[in-house]
Amino acid sequence: MSHAAVADKRPSTLRGASLPKWTPWAVALGSIAVACGIGAAAGLSSHVQWGVIAALLFLIGTYVVAAQVEGRRQAKDRIATSLVWVAFLLAVIPLVSLVWTTVARGVKVLDIYFLTHSMGIVADSQPGGGIYHAILGSLEQVGLATVIGAPIGVLTAIYLVEYGRGRLAQAVTFFVDVMTGIPSIVAGLFILSLMLIFKMQPFGFAGSLALAILMMPVVVRSTEEMLKLVPNELREASLALGVPKWRTILKVVLPTSIGGITTGVMLAIARIAGETAPVLLLVFGNRFINANPFEGAQQSLPLYIYQQYANSAGANAAYDRAWAASLTLIAFVMILNLVARGIARWKAPKTGR
């Protein structure tokens, strides 16, 4: 940040009156000492309160000192800087805690046995059991959803970029945007209303349909962006050679942007793999291994986490399994994310810019 350096130096050269660099540390130390004094004197038991008092003292101290030496405007600038740092640190705490807890408590029961066994003969309150049935169900449901959602999404994006003119394209663009915001449970309820009409029992493929609905708008959006990056000269060169438009799209446009499209699809998969609500309504959950997504209730990883938490009445074994399943799910999603970004960087279309 070059201009930041300029802003810092300028008062010292032009105005003279500026605080030395160690001032914030000195103020921080002083306010911590005073806060400890106040805390001990008033008998406040919670150390969080000590910390809050210290932070407040630091802000007031900085403002007063800076206002005395550098003027009110510099003082305000220092306050803003501190507040921005505080906001950042405040947000980091829960996020670090989330990742740390999941990893620390997840590794306890996560082993090969856990990954290769189901909950068939294990009660929720007992230790043992595993997530094999959940992984299997998740893979099948997400796989089927991808088979349905990804082609429709990519084709829609092709329509919008290569053919789309006029009212229909505008309507599709707007509703794709709106569709991105549909709560997952509403997509679940939509399929549920169909199942109620046709008097069907829960099964894996119903969940796939809801997940496909959630996936389509994400794929359309990312594919659209990628197709727009393909230089028009490539299309024109191909068309000028007399290649029909559909072959131009298949042989020139898609291969050029395939990396980006793959990335988009993988990010969409990562998103739907963690969806619980529609699976809860449509797939229902199952303690046993059911490899057939077209008949009978199945399990899925996010749903497994929820059921281990909700149905176990506080048994520690169940919580351990829930954390281990969470770690598996997060690892799956993160790996998909990282690989997708890797592909995006590796296969980025060479636009010459």
Partner 1 sequence: MDISTQNTEAPPPAPQPTTGETKRAARGATRPGDRIFLGLSRGSGILLLVIMAAIAVFLTYRATLAIGKDHGNFLTTFEWNTNLNPPVFGIAVLAFGTVVSSIIAMIIAVPIAVAIALFLTHYAPRRMSGPIAYVIDLLAAVPSIVYGLWGALVLVPNLGGVFSWLNDYLGWTGIFSWEGGAPRSMLTVGILLAIMILPIITNVSREVFRQVPRMHEEAALALGATRWEVIRMAVLPFGRSGVISASMLGLGRALGETMAVATVLSPDFLIHASLLNPGGGTFAQNIASKFSEATEDGRDALIASGLVLFVITLLVNGAARMIIARRKEYSGANA
Name which position in 110, 135, 158, 206 contacts partner 1 (CB under 8 A). Answer: 158
Q: Which residues contact 353 (CB under 8 A, 6 or more apart)?
A: none
47 to 66: interface string for partner 1, x by CB under 8 A:
-xx-----------------
Closest CA to 220 of 277, 253, 174: 174
Q: How far apart are alpha carbons 322 and 328 in whole angstroms?
A: 10
Footprint of partner 1 on 73-92 (CB under 8 A): 73-74, 76-77, 79-81, 83-85, 87-88, 90-91
Number of residues lying near partner 1 (CB under 8 A): 99
Footprint of partner 1 on 220-239 (CB under 8 A): 220
Least Å distance between CB 250 and partner 1?
A: 8
Closest CA to 280 of 193, 180, 189, 216: 189
Name which position in 51, 120, 127, 244 contacts partner 1 (CB under 8 A). Answer: 244
Q: Which residues contact 102 (CB under 8 A, 6 or more apart)?
A: 323, 326, 327, 330
Closest CA to 262 of 334, 346, 330, 205: 346
Count of all residues that appear for the chain in the document: 353
Indicate whether 295 belongs to the interface with partner 1 (CB under 8 A): no
Indicate whether 216 belongs to the interface with partner 1 (CB under 8 A): yes
From the number of C-beta atoms within 10 Å of its C-beta (0-12, 13-18, 19+), residue 90 rates as: exposed
Q: Which two tokens stand for residue 259?
A: 């990396």
Least Å distance between CB 321 and partner 1?
A: 11
Footprint of partner 1 on 91-150 (CB under 8 A): 91, 94-95, 97-98, 101-102
Between 30 and 49, CB nearer to partner 1: 49
Name which position in 64, 115, 182, 291 contacts partner 1 (CB under 8 A). Answer: 182
DSSP 87-113: HHHHHHHHHHHHHHHHHHHHTTT-SHH
Name which position in 67, 103, 139, 152 contacts partner 1 (CB under 8 A). Answer: 152
Least Å distance between CB 110 and partner 1?
A: 14
Name which position in 17, 107, 147, 168 contacts partner 1 (CB under 8 A). Answer: 168
Name which position in 315, 333, 339, 343 contacts partner 1 (CB under 8 A). Answer: 333
Are the C-beta atoms of residues 269 and 251 closer than 8 Å to each other? no
Window of 119-127, 134-142, 275-283, 288-296 that interacts with partner 1 by CB under 8 A: 275-283
> What separation in angstroms does the CA of 349 have from each of 153, 155, 165, 252, 343?
20, 19, 25, 12, 11
